[in-house]
Amino acid sequence: MTENVEHMFWYNLKTGEVEQGFVSQSVDRVGPFETREEAERALEILRANSAKWAEEDAADD
């Protein structure tokens, strides 16, 4: 991941907008993402990761 995260892309959960850099409060944003396109798919990526982690947890039980 790029070292300069303040210039990367973030998805604002409150507004649904993609932001570049630290525009909004950290509580309202997820990321960072390498590209604007990835940030636009943030909710899809988060859902996929959550499902993957849930499956891994279930397999560990």
Q: How far apart are CA 59 and CA 36, in angstroms?
A: 34
Q: Where are the domains of the chain?
A: 5-60
In the structure encoding, which two tokens stand for residue 16, read together? 């649904």
pLDDT (tens digit, 9 = 90+) per residue, 11-29? 999 999 999 999 999 999 9
Q: How far apart are CA 12 and CA 32, in angstroms?
A: 11
Q: Supply the pLDDT for residue 12.
A: 98
In the structure encoding, which two tokens stand for residue 39, read together? 């940030």
In the predicted model, is pLDDT for residue 1 greater than 60?
no
In the predicted model, is pLDDT for residue 10 greater than 90?
yes
Q: CB atoms < 10 A from the CB of 46, how many?
A: 13
Q: Supply the pLDDT for residue 55.
A: 86
In the predicted model, is pLDDT for residue 2 greater than 90?
no
Q: Supply the pLDDT for residue 29.
A: 96
